[in-house]
Amino acid sequence: MGGALRGRPPRRDRRPGRVDGPGGLNARARAARRGPPPARGGCEAPGAAGVVRAPPPPAADEAVDAGGRALLPGFVDSHAHLVFAGDRTAEFNARMSGRAYGAGGIRTTVAATRAASDAELNANLTRYLAEMLRQGTTTVEVKSGYGLSTADEARSLRIAAGHTEETTYLGAHVVAPEYADDPAGYVELVTGEMLAACAPYARWVDVFCERGAFDGDQARAVLTAGLAQGLQPRVHANQLGHGPGVQLAVELGAASADHCTHLTDADVAALAGSTTVATLLPGAEFSTRAPYPDARRLLDAGAAVALSTDCNPGSSFTSSMPFCVAVAVREMGMTPDEAVHAATAGGALALRRTDVGRIAPGARADLHLLDAPSHVHLAYRPGVPLTAAVWQGGVRRL
């Protein structure tokens, strides 16, 4: 495929100046832009007589001397809410100052998004995606959820689909204000007319399965309706408290259960025994002063874990995957290796992708060169801009 890596996989040599960390390279890195993997290649494998060395890789289309710096796969952000208008600075400031604030939360953003033009929404989305790229993110999932009407949800997804193939229908974010007294009527809309209008622009269906949003039965109705339209499920689950979201996600074979802050032992076991990824969103806890999810507990149980920004204007207005890596290491019990893996390969798994989140022959050449000798610096030097270069599909973008 165009923009795929060619040749044999890099050796996982832990000596300085060789392969650095989870899927990363340093020293002299080679990225290919064109053509299928060549017939020659392979990887080193131990045999009866020791290590069998494959032939050297063929010449790359472009050679880049990384100068001893670390090369990682591009970050894969599998949970972001980027189609919106408006600002909730006052809400955040009040929350951080310990003051009561009576505005409408998500509904404030809904009103602003409905009032915005397509051009304004597209400009905002383009800006946030550019922010992400500058920090090494090369694959982004984008949700709807701030329109909450058939027309506004459909246009949100249509705009998102112009930028990414990872688009998620989230009509079931909260109950639309005009249905405040008729939540059953809103679920009927979300699973009927709105779904039909949105499905052509979406790959995924999502639901906020939490108190104050949608209960287990309502969430099941939303997800099964989406499945019937060919959309694959993912679930906002167990962010605000214990609830049915994780168990429902596992039961329906969802690609991801997102947040996973409040988990029972049964929830952890269910995730560990399933193909559903636990996607952790530390920006939300940072921005709301809430308890962080226990990544160590999930990893030790054998669950697959991803890290994402949850970029949204209300509870996690960060576009920075490096920030999320640093917080995960500092507050959630992850090692730097585990956090970077979760932000790359973990995100790819949460999107059921094998072409991103890794550096390997046949993978898309999405590469993130750090201005640092090791991926550990993402946590070791929090807040420092460490992105030196970014390639997306083999094309240098930064």
In this structure, the strands spanning 50-52 and 45-47 are antiparallel
Nearest Cα neighbor of 259 from 221, 211, 310 is 310
Nearest Cα neighbor of 103 from 113, 114, 92, 116 is 92
C-alpha 87/C-alpha 289 separation (Å) is 20
Position 2 pLDDT exceeds 50: no
Q: Where are the beta strands (DSSP E) in the chain?
A: 28-31, 45-47, 50-52, 62-65, 71-73, 75-77, 137-140, 142-143, 167-172, 204-209, 232-237, 256-259, 277-280, 305-307, 367-370, 387-392, 395-396
Provide the Cα torsion 112, 114, 115, 117; round to 10°. 110
Position 345 pLDDT exceeds 90: yes
The maximal CA–CA distance of the chain, rounded, in angstroms, is: 74
Mean pLDDT, rounded, of the chain: 88
Provide the percentage of residues in the chain whose pLDDT is more than 90: 81
Q: Which of the four pLDDT bands, split at 50, 70 and 90, describes residue 100?
A: confident
Position 174 pLDDT exceeds 50: yes
Q: Is the separation of the CB atoms in 156 and 147 below 8 Å?
A: yes
Q: Which two tokens stand for residue 187?
A: 């679920």
C-alpha 328/C-alpha 286 separation (Å) is 11
Q: How far is CA 169 from the centre of its chain?
A: 15
Q: Which residue has the higher pLDDT, 10 or 171?
A: 171
Nearest Cα neighbor of 73 from 359, 308, 346 is 359
Beta strands across the sheet bearing 204-209: 142-143, 167-172, 204-209, 232-237, 256-259, 277-280, 305-307
Per-residue pLDDT tens digits for 356-387: 999 999 999 999 999 999 999 999 999 999 99
Per-residue pLDDT tens digits for 63-84: 899 999 999 999 999 999 999 9
Q: Which residue has the higher pLDDT, 38 or 22?
A: 22
Q: Is the separation of the CB atoms in 259 and 237 below 8 Å?
A: yes
Whole-number Cα distances in Å, 20 to 52, 214, 374, 384, 392: 22, 44, 6, 20, 20
Whole-number Cα distances in Å, 155 to 110, 129, 170, 186: 13, 18, 13, 19
Position 227 pLDDT exceeds 60: yes
Position 14 pLDDT exceeds 60: no
Q: Which of the four pLDDT bands, split at 50, 70 and 90, describes residue 124?
A: very high
DSSP secondary structure string for all residues of 221-258: HHHHHHHHTTPEEEEEESSSSS-SHHHHHHHTT-SEEE
Q: Which residue has the higher pLDDT, 392 or 105?
A: 392
How many residues in the chain?
Answer: 398
Give me the pLDDT at residue 60, please.
76
CA torsion sign for 173, 178, 183, 189 is negative
C-alpha 13/C-alpha 19 separation (Å) is 6
Give me the pLDDT at residue 55, please.
66
Q: Which of the four pLDDT bands, split at 50, 70 and 90, describes residue 140?
A: very high
Q: Is the separation of the CB atoms in 256 and 306 below 8 Å?
A: yes
